[in-house]
Amino acid sequence: MNNEWEVVEPGSLEGTQTTRKSLTYWQDVWRRLRQNVMAMTGLVMIVIIALMAIFGPMWTTETKSKILSVVCLAACSCCLQHLLAVNRSPTPST
């Protein structure tokens, strides 16, 4: 039987100490963030949304007022259709 483990006598490791390099606050934050998958997913989504908000207006050919008027028109027509459907009472069938 091949035994790969060695028995260490008490006191034989007395002068040795395993240490690692000290991390700054932001290095520790970044290391913990990278280990958290959900946090990284959220960070990527926030970056994508921010980039679209910054560079999106450069890619559109429509003016801001025309986009807002189309959105308002769509919202008003949707509300109007809903109000007409709610106020319309079913006709009794006799």
- Other beta carbons within 10 Å of 63: 9
Using CA atoms, how far apart are residues 21 and 29, in angstroms rounded to an integer? Answer: 15
| pTM for this predicted structure | 0.47
What tokens does 54 get? 């910054």
Using CA atoms, how far apart are residues 26 and 34, in angstroms rounded to an integer? Answer: 12
In a domain, 78, yes or no: yes
In a domain, 70, yes or no: yes
Residue 33: domain span: 25-87
In a domain, 4, yes or no: no
Going residue by residue through the chain (94 aa), what tens digit of pLDDT does each one get?
566 877 777 777 776 666 778 889 999 999 999 999 999 999 999 999 999 989 888 887 777 777 777 777 777 766 666 666 655 556 666 5
